[in-house]
């Protein structure tokens, strides 16, 4: 077979939460290029999600926009059902939707904590629960959580509530691994460090950019495509014996 036309995810249905921009956009686009039918989820950025769908469809792929709040179980059940009706049961779930809040502990409220946990952790739990039964019945599935280096060593800039929510997401990965792996469902997470998304690129000063780059041994900040590549591997058949793992996508930042 010509490797240029090989579609390793052909016949698979993938759901990418927070798929309208940044890391999620890169993952959704990669999945589409690899042959998966992709549900591109967004909370409010419908027009951005529509652009991702258009990009996938322009290359001959299949995709649709899914809109809703990952922290609301009714919304989650609805958009998972919409995707299933359109393309079939979800084979691959990427829990990428997340928010951050750059404030010190002295200014962090309980409401701030609740908001981040609801999106970053509860949302992943609800999405995993929504697809787990059909994955179990078919004895196949891939669940990949996009956590953060902050969940392992604490964030120097991000709020402590962000680090806590991502550490909890890593714990969710381990718990799901115990319960779901016996049914042929692998559960892993990727833990990015500094990734130069569109939003971050627009907010960094030259000094901040230089400081962040100097803290990464490989000598550059990550790109969304770097994270997508790791997620793509974990979604593939080649990763069928990898479960319960956390893959750092950090350019060596964890040893710096």
Distance of alpha carbon 108 from alpha carbon 112, whole angstroms:
6
Domains of the chain plus CATH, in order, are 13-245 (3.40.50.720)
Report in angstroms the alpha-carbon separations of 32 from 28, 63, 81, 93, 221: 6, 7, 20, 14, 25
Distance of alpha carbon 137 from alpha carbon 11, whole angstroms:
17
19 three-state secondary structure: coil
- Per residue of the chain (256 residues), give pLDDT as tens: 344 568 999 999 999 999 999 999 999 999 999 999 999 999 999 999 999 999 999 999 999 999 999 999 999 999 999 999 999 999 999 999 998 888 888 999 999 999 999 999 999 999 999 999 999 999 999 999 999 887 777 766 677 888 999 999 999 999 999 999 999 999 999 999 888 887 777 777 888 888 888 888 888 888 999 999 999 999 999 999 999 999 999 888 866 5
Longest dimension (CA), the chain: 59
With both helix axes pointing from N to C terminus, report the angle between 160-180 and 123-138 in degrees, rounded to the nearest 10. Answer: 10
Q: Strand ranges (DSSP E) for the chain?
A: 13-16, 37-42, 62-67, 92-95, 141-146, 185-192, 246-249
């Amino acid at each position: 077979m010509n490797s240029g036309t090989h579609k390793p995810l052909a016949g698979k249905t993938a759901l990418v939460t927070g798929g309208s921009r940044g890391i999620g956009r890169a993952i959704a686009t990669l999945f589409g290029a690899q042959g998966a039918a992709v549900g591109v989820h967004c909370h409010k950025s419908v027009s951005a999600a529509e652009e991702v769908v258009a990009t996938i469809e322009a290359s001959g792929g299949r995709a649709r926009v899914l809109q809703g709040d990952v922290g609301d179980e009714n919304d989650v059940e609805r958009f998972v059902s919409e995707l299933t009706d359109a393309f079939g049961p979800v084979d691959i779930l990427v829990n990428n939707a997340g928010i951050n809040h750059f404030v010190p502990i002295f200014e962090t409220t309980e409401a701030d904590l609740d908001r981040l946990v609801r999106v970053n952790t509860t949302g992943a739990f609800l999405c995993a629960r929504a697809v787990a039964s059909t994955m179990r019945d078919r004895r196949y599935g891939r669940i990949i959580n996009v956590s953060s280096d902050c969940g392992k060593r604490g964030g120097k800039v991000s709020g402590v509530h962000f680090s806590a929510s991502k550490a909890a997401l890593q714990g969710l990965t381990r718990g799901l691994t115990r319960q779901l792996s016996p049914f042929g469902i692998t559960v892993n997470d990727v833990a990015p460090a500094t990734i130069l998304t569109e939003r971050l690129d627009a907010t960094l000063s030259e000094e901040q950019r230089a400081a962040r780059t100097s803290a990464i041994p490989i000598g550059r900040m990550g790109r969304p495509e770097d994270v997508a590549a790791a997620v793509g591997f974990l979604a593939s058949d080649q990763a069928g014996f990898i479960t319960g793992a956390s893959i750092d996508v950090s350019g060596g930042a964890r040893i710096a």
